[in-house]
């Protein structure tokens, strides 16, 4: 069973596309006329030029809004498209789930004529995010094991352009670092259910770390420790677009 068939049931509730991140993705795509959206999930960040979405989880496919582009139940490593079928291949917050990143990138090159774009993160940078560093080192280890290093990604892509994408303080897409200025959100099981890093980390270590976080929020320790964060509107946590001309 695909992972998101287990953990994706509430995705659309906690993982709405954030317009500021959407703008960064649109910018990275440039003036392309047709797109395959790979690991499309429930359709977040899907640009209007999308001609087909590719997604292995039926639970995620079932949450695509009416009127979305046609979708195929398939994986990045074997895209159900002809050679040179589209201008661009897009992969948003998905490459860390692929079983064979090199095969997925070879497929993007095969089906796309002009551009490949990822929205992803630097695992080394995210490991320094306060939630993982101070409360959930086991989750940092999970991320280090599963995330795709940007060195590997850029080696496979060739001459890629990296652009940091700061996460707004009120980001409406509840991915792992989205609540950097709203620590209490991590105490909500439904919010955590939308973050795959929690599903893949030892639950005892998660419970223990979240108990400490809850105590630090209640006692005021968290707010006293992070006055700098409370002043910021957006934070560079290590998320970025990675794009390459093909």
Ligand X SMILES: C[S@@+](CC[C@H](N)C(=O)[O-])C[C@H]1O[C@@H](n2cnc3c(N)ncnc32)[C@H](O)[C@@H]1O
Chain contacts with ligand X (rule: CB under 6 A):
2, 4, 15, 38-41, 44-45, 55-57, 60, 75-77, 92-94, 97-99
Positive or negative, the Cα torsion across 176, 12, 97, 80? negative
Q: Closest separation between CB of residue 99 and ligand X, Å? A: 6
Q: Which is nearer to ligand X, 98 or 222 (CB)?
A: 98
Q: Closest separation between CB of residue 227 and ligand X, Å? A: 32
Q: Which is nearer to ligand X, 77 or 141 (CB)?
A: 77
Report how far residue 246's alpha carbon sits from residue 240's, in angstroms, rounded to the nearest whole number: 19
Q: Closest separation between CB of residue 63 and ligand X, Å? A: 9
Q: Closest separation between CB of residue 165 and ligand X, Å? A: 13
Q: Which is nearer to ligand X, 76 or 117 (CB)?
A: 76
Per the rule left: phi > 0, alpha: psi between -120 and 50, beta: everything else, 39 is: left
DSSP string, 112-151: EEEEEEEEEE-HHHHTTSHIIIII-HHHHHHHHHHSPPHH
Minimal CB distance residue for ligand X: 41
Q: Which is nearer to ligand X, 71 or 206 (CB)?
A: 71
How far are the Cα atoms of 31, 73, 105, 118, 202 from residue 139, in angstroms, in the given order? 38, 29, 27, 23, 8
């Amino acid at each position: 069973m695909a992972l998101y068939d287990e953990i994706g049931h509430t995705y659309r509730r906690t993982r709405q596309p954030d317009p500021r991140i959407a703008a960064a993705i649109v910018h990275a795509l440039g003036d392309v006329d047709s797109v395959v959206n790979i690991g499309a999930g429930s359709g977040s960040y899907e640009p209007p030029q999308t001609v087909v979405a590719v997604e292995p989880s039926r639970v995620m496919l079932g949450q695509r809004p009416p009127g979305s582009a046609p979708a195929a139940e398939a994986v990045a490593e074997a895209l159900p498209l002809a050679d040179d079928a589209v201008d661009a291949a897009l992969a948003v917050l998905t490459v860390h789930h692929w079983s064979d990143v090199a095969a997925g990138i070879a497929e993007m090159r095969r089906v796309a004529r002009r551009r490949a774009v990822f929205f992803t993160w630097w695992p080394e940078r995210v490991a320094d995010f306060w939630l993982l560093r101070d409360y959930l080192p086991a989750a940092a280890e999970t991320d280090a094991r599963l995330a795709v290093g940007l060195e590997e990604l850029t080696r496979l892509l060739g001459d890629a352009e990296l652009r940091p994408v700061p996460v707004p303080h009120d980001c409406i897409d509840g991915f792992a670092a989205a609540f950097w200025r709203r620590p209490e959100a991590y105490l909500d099981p439904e919010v955590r259910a939308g973050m795959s890093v929690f599903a893949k980390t030892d639950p005892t270590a998660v419970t223990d770390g979240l108990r400490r976080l809850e105590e630090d929020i209640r006692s005021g320790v968290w707010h006293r420790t992070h006055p700098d964060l409370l002043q910021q509107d957006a934070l560079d946590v290590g998320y970025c677009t990675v794009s390459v001309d093909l």
